[in-house]
Chain A
Amino acid sequence: MRVGLFIPCYVDQLYPQVGIATLHLLEKYGCEVDYPADQTCCGQPMANSGFEHLTQGCNDLFIKNFSDYDYIVCPSGSCTLHIKEHLHGSHGEGDADPATSVRKKIYELVEFLTDVLKVESIEASFPHKVGLHQSCHGQRGLKLAQMTELVAPPFSKPEKLLKMVKGIELIDLTRKDECCGFGGTFCVAEEAVSVKMGKDRVADHVHHGAEYITGADMSCLMHLEGILRRQKSSIRVKHIAEILDSKG
């Protein structure tokens, strides 16, 4: 199984350890992983700001980099959702369009582990109290976990994986799936509300005794980390890949 590893731009530049942990995990489960060197960004920052019409360059680059793999895996629900919903080729639609096949074979890391690799056990240890932040695009977009608004049976793919980690204690939250307020360019365009939302999310984790906040989207965690560090808090953030790859 040939897997193309897509590491979002801000993870590449700011959180290389998340890319490394993702690569380790995929290799551990027997994937033949390749990281196309010319990759940059999924185009979401422009598209969510209303400039989707400018993103053809990003789209073409993405298609060129990733068309040849059996699967594309990305440690971000948000970037994955963007590719799934908005990647378009230069020459129309249809099955012949390489964008169509790319959209179908891209997976966020957690769902790739649970749904494709069908991971049932993990050799990792993380003896800490951990709060899981459900990032909205992964949860409501990719349906990584049941949404509290819907009258439907509960499930959670990230929780399922985290519970396989030795020593981990997952804490409950008062608001299980409230948005953290990152929201892409929202984080600077609506700075006041964005920061307030982040502070409230952090407070929920603090209240329930978290030592770490984890999640499947580093962008939300980066935002929460910025608030935690401003507060001189001892709570740290870790991407779920880092916990699943931790030796304890």
Chain B
Amino acid sequence: MSKQDHAALADAFNKDEPRVDWHDKTLWFVREKRDKAVFKVPEWEWLRETASQIKNNVLSNLSEYLMQFEDQATRNGIIVHWAADAKEHNEIVYGLLKKHGVDKMVKSKSMLTEECHLNEFLAEQGIDVVDTDLGERVVQLAGEPPSHIVLPCIHKKKEEIGEIFHEHLGTPAGNADPQFLTHAARLHLREKFLTRKAALTGVNFAVAETGEFVVCTNEGNADMGAHLADIHIACMGIEKLIPLRKHLGVFLRLLTRSATGQPITTYSSHFRRPRPGQEMHIVLVDNGRSVQLGKKDFRNSLKCIRCAACFNTCPVYRRSGGHSYHTAVAGPIGSILSPNLDMKKYADLPFASTLCGSCSNVCPVKIDIHDQLYKWRQVIVQEGYAPVAKKMAMKTMNWVLSNPSVYHTAGKAGRWFMLNAPFTVNNGLNPWWKGRDMPEVPKESFGQWYKRNRK
């Protein structure tokens, strides 16, 4: 894991400007697709408000809904497990595989397992995990984490994917035709689906009323894995619950329109009970969520349905890349979720934003993302994770700005502001000057002009 912070990683990403342009345009295209899709739904803002209120209700009654879900799922023949943290989650999954003597598993997209670093853990135990989502398979073969929660390999150009496939799957060198590469991946994955006895999937929505869960994919890979395997393990964060099945009518309309601009995912698969002879397990994972739930200012970040609309609209994400966030869930939402998991490690992330607010506007469940970024900044500084130099600078600045006489020290050259504001200090050490010229300094301030002309 990288020790560099977001600013340093983003700086490295920006060394290749044409690539930044390509990354920005690729993701902006997804934002535009989202816009086209949502403007066809006149009741869009009502849907967002409704989804937000349903999720608020879930968060306020989470323990009841969890118990109801466990009860219903158990009646359906699903085996329910509870994991307090990532470690326990990983051990539960490993224990199930071990019990069945399974050493190979297929896995469809699950950001929770990324959060828990399940693949690394299982690899250490000698379990071979194949990610079956095409984008996830690409980054897995490349030995990288996903850079985006919906589009895991969005940072890779098709030529680079061609090279990865050439190296790992034996496709011809130099072939970067998406259709050809997809076909090669399909053949490669089909063999995995047919030979794996265990399949792990994520969960998009778990319905308390019925004990069923819904998995959304565009490739059908969750279904291929789950239907062919003797044991299906579904892992979910405890916030994924919705009270009633009919609420899917709200969330499924919001999810993919926000994510990719599609009206609905190609597959929205409902799993309610194991087929005869199959074992079906659900692992309910807390991993810091109940701590977040207890934080008044941050609890509603748990409304997130992982659509990544905030990634695609974020002008910073588009120009810094997912890996600059050095966390499983990048982007604006990751920047308000990650500090809860490890404040010291992720102290930089709430500052990786201009607070422009576009994230909060595209969020289908109306999380006040940019306000929470501001609030995390206050918490991080108060908890002592601000760099010392910054602390000193802020104290000085505050002292000057609280004392008009110091601020107004006479004479253009002597004015404190001119000597200290970053955009007025003309030297090579000043980051403002690296890519920007300084403003011209006027003869007099407005205050001085006013004194001469009005009083």
Question: Chain A: residues with CB nearer than 8 A to chain B?
Answer: 7, 9-20, 23, 35, 37-41, 43, 45-55, 57-58, 60-61, 136-137, 140-141, 147-152, 175, 177-179, 181-184, 186-200, 222-223, 225-227, 229-230
Name the A residues within 8 Å of B399 (CB-CB). Answer: 57
Instruction: Find chain A residues with CB under 8 A from B7 CB.
Output: 189-193
11 CB < 8 A contacts A-B: A7-B447, A10-B417, A13-B417, A41-B401, A53-B381, A54-B395, A181-B315, A184-B354, A191-B432, A197-B315, A226-B439
Cβ-defined partner of A14 (8 Å) among B11, B38, B377, B441: B441
> Which chain B positions have C-beta within 8 A of A179?
315, 354, 356, 358
Tell me which residues across on chain B come within 8 A of A182, comparing CB atoms: 354
Q: Which residue of A lies closest to B391 (CB)?
A: A51
Q: Which residues of A sit under 8 angstroms from B362, Cβ to Cβ?
A: 149
Complex: A191 Cα to B454 Cα, angstroms: 40
Do the beta carbons of B446 and A46 come within 8 Å of each other? no
The 10 closest A-B pairs by CB, nearest first: A57-B402, A226-B436, A183-B354, A195-B435, A50-B381, A19-B446, A149-B361, A50-B377, A179-B356, A140-B357
With A57-B402, A187-B432, A191-B11 already in contact, the answer to whether A151 and B356 are too (CB < 8 A) is no
- Cα–Cα distance between A194 and B11 once the two chains are bound (Å): 10
| Closest-CB distance, B350 to chain A (whole angstroms) | 8
Tell whether B313 is near chain A: CB-to-CB under 8 Å.
Answer: yes
Contact indicator per residue, chain B 84-120, by CB within 8 Å of chain A (1) or not (0): 0000000000000000000000000000000000000
Given A52-B378, A53-B381, A57-B401, 11 additional A-B pairs, CB 8 A: A14-B424, A58-B398, A136-B354, A140-B361, A147-B358, A175-B28, A177-B358, A183-B354, A184-B355, A195-B435, A229-B437
The answer to whether the Cβ of B167 comes within 8 Å of any Cβ in the partner chain is: no
* Chain A min CB distance to B357 (Å): 4
Q: Is B20 an interface residue (CB 8 A)?
A: yes
CB-nearest residue of chain B to A38:
B404
Task: Give chain B residues whose Cβ lies under 8 Å from the Cβ of A61.
Answer: 402, 404
User: Among residues 7 to 38 in chain B, which have CB atoms less than 8 Å away from a CB atom of chain A?
Assistant: 7, 10-11, 13-14, 17, 20, 24, 28, 35, 38
Q: Is B394 an interface residue (CB 8 A)?
A: yes
Stretch at the interface among B40-48, B125-133, B300-308: B40-48
With A39-B404, A53-B382, A147-B361 known as contacts, the answer to whether A11 contacts B446 (CB < 8 A) is: yes
Cα(A186)–Cα(B451), bound, Å: 34
Question: Using an 8 Å CB-CB cutoff, how does the interface string of B367-395 with A read, 1 for contact, 0 for none?
Answer: 00000001001101110001000110011
Greatest chain B CB density within 10 A among A12, A46, A227 is at A12
Complex Cα gap A147–B358 (Å) = 8
Q: How far is the CB of B147 from chain A (nearest CB, A)?
A: 16
In contact, B351 and A151 (Cβ under 8 angstroms): no
> Which of A18, A40, A230 meets B407, CB within 8 Å?
A40
B358 engages A195 (CB within 8 Å): no
A50 to B360, CA, bound (A): 20
Number of chain B residues whose Cβ lies closer than 8 Å to a Cβ of chain A: 80
Q: Are A226 and B352 in contact (CB under 8 A)?
A: no
**B355 and A15 contact, CB distance less than 8 A:** no
Of chain A, the residue at the smallest CB distance from B359 is A149
- The residue on A at minimum CB distance from B390 is A49
CB closest chain-A residue, reference B374: A48
Complex Cα distance, B298 from A27, in Å, reads: 45
A147 to B151, CA, bound (A): 26
Contact B447 A192 (CB under 8 A): no
A151 in contact with B11 (CB, 8 Å): no
Query: Which of A41, A179, A181, A230 is the most central at the interface, judged by chain B CB atoms within 10 Å of its CB?
Result: A179
**In the assembled complex, which residues on chain B have CB atoms less than 8 Å from the CB atom of A223?**
436
If A53-B378, A150-B361 touch, does A35 touch B441 (CB 8 Å cutoff)? no
Asked if B431 is an interface residue, CB under 8 A from chain A, the answer is yes
Nearest-CB residue, chain B, relative to A7: B446
B405-455 contacts to A, CB under 8 A, are 407, 415, 417-418, 421-424, 430-432, 434-439, 441-442, 444-451, 454
Partner of A50, one of B320, B378, B403: B378
Q: Measured between C-beta atoms, what is the minimum distance from A222 to chain B in Å?
A: 6
Instruction: Please indicate the chain B residues that have their CB under 8 angstroms from the CB of A141 in the complex.
Output: 357
A141-B356 Cα distance, complex, nearest whole Å: 9
- Given A16-B446, A197-B315, A229-B437: A43 in contact with B401 (beta carbons within 8 A): yes
B445 and A16 contacting across the interface, CB-CB below 8 Å: yes
Residues of A within 8 A of B437 (CB): 225-226, 229-230
**Contacts of A150 on B, CB cut-off 8 Å?**
45, 361
> Does B353 lie at the interface of the complex (its beta carbon under 8 Å from any beta carbon of A)?
yes
Residues of chain A with a CB closer than 8 A to B441's CB: 14
Contacts of A12 in B (CB 8 A): 445-447
Chain A hits for B421, CB < 8 A: 10, 13
- In the complex, whether B164 has a CB less than 8 A from a CB of chain A is no
Q: Is B397 an interface residue (CB 8 A)?
A: yes
| Alpha-carbon separation in the docked complex, A195 to B14 (Å) | 10
- Smallest distance from the beta carbon of B243 to chain A beta carbons, Å? 26
B46's closest neighbor in chain A, by CB? A151
Q: Are B439 and A46 in contact (CB under 8 A)?
A: no
Residue pair A20, B315 in contact (C-beta under 8 Å):
no
Nearest chain B CB to A174 CB, angstrom units: 9
B447-A37 in contact (CB<8A): yes
CA separation between A40 and B435, bound complex, in Å?
Answer: 28
Q: How far is the CB of B26 from chain A (nearest CB, A)?
A: 14
For A149, list chain B residues within 8 Å (CB). Answer: 35, 313, 358, 361-362
Across the interface, do B377 and A48 meet the contact criterion of CB distance under 8 Å?
A: yes
B316 at the interface (CB under 8 A from A): yes
Residue of A nearest to B34 (CB): A149
Q: In the complex, which residues of chain A have a beta carbon less than 8 angstroms from the beta carbon of B17?
A: 196
- Complex Cα distance, B41 from A185, in Å, reads 38
* Interfacial chain B residues near A151, Cβ < 8 Å: 38-39, 41-42, 44-45
The verdict on B319 contacting chain A, using a C-beta distance below 8 Å, is: yes
Query: What distance in Å separates the Cβ of B215 from its nearest Cβ neighbour in chain A?
Result: 28
Which B residues touch A53, using CB under 8 A? 378, 381-382
Contact (Cβ within 8 A) A192 B401: no
B299 within 8 Å of A by Cβ? Answer: no
Q: Does B281 contact A (CB under 8 A)?
A: no
B45/A45 in contact, CB under 8 A: no
